[in-house]
Amino acid sequence: MIYLDTEKILFTGAGFTHNFGAPLAREMGYLIFNNLKVQAEPRIKSLLLRNIDFESAYYSIIEGDYNDNEKHAISLAVSN
């Protein structure tokens, strides 16, 4: 993303917020997988173990044939 000012240019990209304490994608995956609500849902754990891309796993759960408890667990883990 580029923000233009008459005198300044700020370039941002992937990992930019990491400098301010936000986790990188790999760390996000670990945080989501280790969430207690996710750990209580075997199908979610299994999916996350097979799929390192937590964003596509999240989409699969929210849009797929998962029950409300499973959807709530992944949503809560992502928001935390």
pLDDT at 12: 67
Q: What is residue 62's predicted lDDT score, i.e. its pLDDT?
A: 96
CA distance 65 to 59: 11
Asked if the structure places residue 54 within a domain, the reply is yes
- Give the tens place of pLDDT for each residue, 27-75: 888 899 999 999 999 999 999 999 878 889 999 999 999 999 999 999 9
68-71, long-range: CB < 8 A, 24+ apart: 69/41, 70/41, 70/43, 70/44
Counting the structural domains of the chain, the total is: 1
Query: Would 47 be classed as within a structural domain?
Result: yes
| Cβ-contact 53, 59 below 8 angstroms | no
* pLDDT for the residue numbered 4: 57
Rounded Cα distance, 65 and 15, in Å: 33
Give the DSSP H or E segment for 17.
Answer: none
Containing domain of residue 66, as a range?
23-79
Asked whether residue 6 is assigned to any structural domain, the reply reads no
